[in-house]
Chain A
Amino acid sequence: MNSDLSKIDPRQAWQPFVPDAKRPWNRALAAHLYRRAGFAATWDQLTAAVKQEPAELVAQLVRGPKTDEAFERQSRDLAEAMLATGNPQNLSAWWLHRMIGAPHPLLEKTTLFWHGHFATSAAKVTDPRLMLAQHELLRQHALGKFGPLVQAVSRDPAMLIYLDSTTNRKVRPNENYARELMELFCLGEGNYSEQDIKQIARCFTGWEVRNGRFRFREFQHDEGSKTFFGKTGNFGGQDAVRIVLDQPAAAEFIAGKLFRFFVCDEPAPPPALIDPLAEQLRKNDFTTGPVIERILSSRLFFSGASVGRKIRSPVELSVGLLRALGGATNVYRLAEELAQLGQAVFFPPNVKGWEGGRYWINTSTLLGRANLVGRLVSGEESKFAAGDLAQLAERCGATSPEEVVDWLLELLVAVPIPRKAREPLVKLARSTGGAAGKPVGTVIHAMSLLPEFQLG
């Protein structure tokens, strides 16, 4: 399929991918799926994946395995311990721990998507309990219905604190939430007027946060009639959310954001390509899970228009590396390192979340990304299930320098690298003797500065 999105037939794009001789189902495509539907696959997962039908695997990744009670219990205990410190930065570490180990990576990934969408920073909210409560809310609705998610977010104390909307009196309605509801959460710029904002702000009067809890103060609510989007009535906040979501732009806006998150950073897709996804959202009560499943099993998703067409976020880069190699690390340190690279989870930079794409990249972040990879593979505050990386390589059938390089490229890099770029890596693998595991780590470190390594 063409990588020029304007030349793609929208009717073909979202048809289920069926492997053929030109586009066979192989480890590279399975690795692509695992990267986007989560963070990365291990070699064993890739080996198993190619024996399955792609559609079957996608369904399995979207559905997720049966809840792993032991993991959830451990995660809850860890969360409690983090909360007890009162330091919201520890929450970042807690979530990273989940992402690295969670049995349902797509749920973590989609929760991260909504965290960027409904961006709220602990730097302002400060109370880690409120941040965690919001996180649970995003997770609960991550693959479910968008309507109830927006309704819940609209009453979420962390969100209201973040948007300076903890008081909203009828004499002077606070327009902040009404504006962000439309611009950032549901419709996108240009799909509402300043008048709509004023009217909708009146619907939210009386919605307040007191002592970390949402409350409705009836006598502060404007009982008058409001008119927006062609409707008139004594609407409250819930009505406002419902009416906003009834606007045609809503489904297109959400479908467009899912497209950018799951398919490619750029270029922006033509509306015709988004329409089928938007239509599916409207028909299914805005349920996002099935749309994500359709994207992940589509011809477009497994085409050159999507494979390697995203720049990996710092979280994707590091968590992906650890998951692919069966690694673990000091998550407190990782949280700090990711903050340096521009992605502190629970601390998005502004109300629009992370811009992503090319904005992840500059001199400081490129070197920082490579240094982080270097640190992770060096074994400094990190470890690998297989013992060391050489043992892992050997277990996966890679022993000669050539085999090690090809194995790593297939496992860790989304697109092929030029033949002439492979040679120096093989040479490096050959020359770096010494301590067991070191050659493999050194080759990964070298790869981390390949432009191809940044793609996911």
Chain B
Amino acid sequence: MSTTRRRFLSASLGSSAMVAMTPRVPGFLLEAAAREQDNKQGENVLVVVQLSGGNDGLNTVVPYADDAYGRNRFTLRIGKDQVRKIDDYAGFHPAMEGFAKLLEDEKLAIVQGVGYENPNRSHFESMDIWHTARRKGQPRRVGWLGASLDAAARVGPDVPAMHLGQGKQPLALASLKVNVPSIRSLESFCFRDGKDRALVGAIEQALTPKRDANNDLLQFLHGSTSAALASSRRIQEVLGRGKTTVQYPATKLAGKLRDVAQLIDADLGTRVYYVTLNGFDTHAAQNNAHAALLGELAGALTAFSEDLKSRGHDRRVLTLAFSEFGRRLRENASAGTDHGAAAPLFLIGPRVKPGLIGRHPSLTDLTSGDLKYHTDFRRVYATLLENWLGWKSAEVLGGKYKPLNVLA
């Protein structure tokens, strides 16, 4: 059943007319049946986790067996005995226990050596490049996701994309038409005073009469309002069911992803969720800060993955974790690392081809002290747009990029 039809069904259940037509089947059963069906057929969802500041890929997926690594990371080196081994060359940072488990469960693909030509080492510029898939000087009005929404999203009550967070909305979501909400909490999807039965009853009754069939705008608003109230009811229901049994760590990222899981469960027709984890700009005393961030990332994503599974949505959700650049191979004099270039990125979900994708970039064949990329980030985007979301990518990415073979 399409989301629109299911939404119509659950919206109509609020009105007496529909209930009267189906006297023997209690409404909640119908709704539950509809949701069950949706789990199997719902549209794919992409969750983007942006690691802002430039994540040190070399201390995330650690080439522990490479002498050049040990030589250049004289204080920040993570030894063979500390890493969580992926193979006999690379291993995860010890704080990333969750990633090791995701890999074991065949839910994690590590795409190595991702970047772009002539890497820019400014945070803002490089992030803009990742967000728009355009270089400076080219028109950059919209983001890669926003432009896709403009082309693909239907006008209507669905919220095609959502940003969870307080700060500025990422340019990746900038679109010319679609209004992408930035929300702080699930409460923004609940009708204030939704518990006032007299008020809600009056609204539902006032929405029951048909509106002038010749007035398109009014018809559109009428349909959208019924759908919005149904969504509000679903969110309230999801919130009412209480917190998930899955234990999320007490971190900000985990809190956001827990909200995302609830929103996916409530199904607002949203195809893209976007969250950010800040703080990866580790120029000095990197060790503790970086470990904490990677721990937060791995812990949150592991819980999220479990939660989605328990809610029956995991097979239609794919998570991308990326950063605007990696960091320099050679550590600096402050026990930190400076802005670099190519780095690994992560795709999480039961439908990925698990494991390392592509070789680790060479630690001796460098450009200005940085790793060379071999996989253009736009190929990752093409994969997500074409093969996951079912959207066209060429116009959005400014060229045809060959999708990677990373989805099973």
Q: CB-CB contacts of A403-427 with B at 8 A, as 1s and 0s?
A: 0000000000001011111111101
A423 to B176, CA, bound (A): 41
Query: If A364-B188, A374-B193, A445-B199 touch, does A420 touch B208 (CB 8 Å cutoff)?
Result: yes
Asked whether A366 is an interface residue with its Cβ less than 8 Å from the other chain, the reply is yes
A238 to B237, CA, bound (A): 61
Residue of B nearest to A365 (CB): B179
A340 to B183, CA, bound (A): 7
Residue of A nearest to B143 (CB): A350
Asked whether B159 is an interface residue with its Cβ less than 8 Å from the other chain, the reply is yes
Query: If A366-B228, A425-B202 touch, does A359 touch B211 (CB 8 Å cutoff)?
Result: no
Q: Most B CB atoms within 10 A — which of A176, A308, A449? A: A449
Q: CB-CB contacts of A329-354 with B at 8 A, as 1s and 0s?
A: 00000000000101000000111100
Q: Are B209 and A421 in contact (CB under 8 A)?
A: yes
- CB-CB under 8 A from B221, the residues of chain A are 311, 361, 451-452, 454-455
Chain B: how many interface residues by the 8 Å CB criterion?
56
| Option from B155, B206, B231, B232 in Cβ contact (under 8 Å) with A425 | B206
Q: CB-CB contacts of B67-106 with A at 8 A, as 1s and 0s?
A: 0000000000000000000000000000000000000000
Q: Are B205 and A424 in contact (CB under 8 A)?
A: yes
Q: Are A355 and B168 in contact (CB under 8 A)?
A: no
Q: Are A374 and B217 in contact (CB under 8 A)?
A: no
Q: Are B177 and A351 in contact (CB under 8 A)?
A: no
Q: Are A445 and B177 in contact (CB under 8 A)?
A: no
- CB-CB under 8 A from B211, the residues of chain A are 418, 451
Q: Are B141 and A350 in contact (CB under 8 A)?
A: yes
Asked whether B366 is an interface residue with its Cβ less than 8 Å from the other chain, the reply is no
- CB-CB under 8 A from B191, the residues of chain A are 367, 370-371, 449
Question: Once A and B bind, how many residue pairs between them come within 8 Å at the CB atom?
Answer: 155
| Option from B175, B181, B224 in Cβ contact (under 8 Å) with A340 | B181
Q: Are B201 and A424 in contact (CB under 8 A)?
A: yes
Query: If A362-B156, A363-B268, A366-B224 touch, does A449 touch B229 (CB 8 Å cutoff)?
Result: yes
Asked whether B292 is an interface residue with its Cβ less than 8 Å from the other chain, the reply is no
Q: Are A455 and B218 in contact (CB under 8 A)?
A: yes
Q: Most B CB atoms within 10 A — which of A176, A352, A364, A418? A: A364
Residue of A nearest to B214 (CB): A3
Q: CB-CB contacts of B194-217 with A at 8 A, as 1s and 0s?
A: 001011011101111111001111
Q: Are B198 and A432 in contact (CB under 8 A)?
A: yes
Asked whether A123 is an interface residue with its Cβ less than 8 Å from the other chain, the reply is yes
A415 to B214, CA, bound (A): 14
From residue A372, how far is it (CB to closest CB) to chain B in Å?
Answer: 9
| Option from A266, A351, A358, A442 in Cβ contact (under 8 Å) with B199 | A442
A173 to B103, CA, bound (A): 51
From residue B146, how far is it (CB to closest CB) to chain A in Å?
Answer: 8
Asked whether A398 is an interface residue with its Cβ less than 8 Å from the other chain, the reply is no
Asked whether A431 is an interface residue with its Cβ less than 8 Å from the other chain, the reply is yes
Q: Are B158 and A362 in contact (CB under 8 A)?
A: yes
Q: Are A266 and B228 in contact (CB under 8 A)?
A: no
From residue B264, how far is it (CB to closest CB) to chain A in Å?
Answer: 14
Chain A: how many interface residues by the 8 Å CB criterion?
55
- CB-CB under 8 A from B168, the residues of chain A are 123
| Option from B136, B142, B182, B188 in Cβ contact (under 8 Å) with A350 | B142
Q: Are B206 and A421 in contact (CB under 8 A)?
A: yes
Q: Are A421 and B220 in contact (CB under 8 A)?
A: no
From residue B292, how far is it (CB to closest CB) to chain A in Å?
Answer: 29
Closest 4 CB pairs of A and B: A451-B221, A424-B205, A428-B202, A418-B209
From residue B237, how far is it (CB to closest CB) to chain A in Å?
Answer: 15
From residue A316, how far is it (CB to closest CB) to chain B in Å?
Answer: 15
A454 to B191, CA, bound (A): 16
Q: Are B231 and A359 in contact (CB under 8 A)?
A: no
Q: Are A359 and B177 in contact (CB under 8 A)?
A: yes
- CB-CB under 8 A from B183, the residues of chain A are 340, 364
Interfacial residues, chain B to chain A (CB-CB below 8 A): 136-137, 139, 141-142, 155-159, 162, 168, 174-179, 181-183, 188-193, 196, 198-199, 201-203, 205-211, 214-218, 220-222, 224-225, 227-229, 231-232, 268
A309 to B232, CA, bound (A): 27
| Option from B159, B162, B202, B231 in Cβ contact (under 8 Å) with A424 | B202
Q: Are A358 and B159 in contact (CB under 8 A)?
A: no
Q: Are A371 and B228 in contact (CB under 8 A)?
A: no
Residue of B nearest to A343 (CB): B179
- CB-CB under 8 A from B203, the residues of chain A are 424, 446, 449-450
Query: If A340-B182, A367-B188, A424-B206 touch, does A451 touch B174 (CB 8 Å cutoff)?
Result: no
Residue of B nearest to A368 (CB): B188
Q: Are B217 and A375 in contact (CB under 8 A)?
A: no
- CB-CB under 8 A from A196, the residues of chain B are none
Interfacial residues, chain A to chain B (CB-CB below 8 A): 3, 123, 164, 176, 179, 265-266, 308-309, 311, 340, 342, 349-352, 355, 358-368, 370-371, 374-375, 415, 417-425, 427-428, 431-432, 442, 445-446, 449-452, 454-455
A432 to B198, CA, bound (A): 8
From residue B273, how far is it (CB to closest CB) to chain A in Å?
Answer: 13
Q: Are B206 and A355 in contact (CB under 8 A)?
A: no
Q: Are B217 and A367 in contact (CB under 8 A)?
A: no
A370 to B190, CA, bound (A): 10
Q: Are B159 and A374 in contact (CB under 8 A)?
A: no
- CB-CB under 8 A from B217, the residues of chain A are 265-266, 308-309, 311, 358, 455
Q: Are B189 and A449 in contact (CB under 8 A)?
A: no
Residue of B nearest to A449 (CB): B203
A123 to B174, CA, bound (A): 13
From residue B93, how far is it (CB to closest CB) to chain A in Å?
Answer: 34
A425 to B221, CA, bound (A): 19
- CB-CB under 8 A from A432, the residues of chain B are 198
Residue of A nearest to B156 (CB): A362
Q: Are B176 and A358 in contact (CB under 8 A)?
A: no
From residue A420, how far is it (CB to closest CB) to chain B in Å?
Answer: 4
Additional A-B contacts beyond A340-B181, A363-B231 (14; CB < 8 A) = A3-B214, A3-B215, A123-B168, A350-B141, A350-B142, A350-B176, A361-B224, A363-B228, A364-B181, A364-B188, A368-B181, A445-B199, A449-B225, A455-B218
From residue A248, how far is it (CB to closest CB) to chain B in Å?
Answer: 26
A446 to B208, CA, bound (A): 14
- CB-CB under 8 A from B215, the residues of chain A are 3
- CB-CB under 8 A from B142, the residues of chain A are 350
Q: Are A374 and B192 in contact (CB under 8 A)?
A: yes
From residue B139, how far is it (CB to closest CB) to chain A in Å?
Answer: 7
From residue A55, how far is it (CB to closest CB) to chain B in Å?
Answer: 28
Q: Are A420 and B157 in contact (CB under 8 A)?
A: no
From residue A204, how far is it (CB to closest CB) to chain B in Å?
Answer: 15
From residue B251, how far is it (CB to closest CB) to chain A in Å?
Answer: 24
A309 to B191, CA, bound (A): 26
- CB-CB under 8 A from A359, the residues of chain B are 155, 177-179
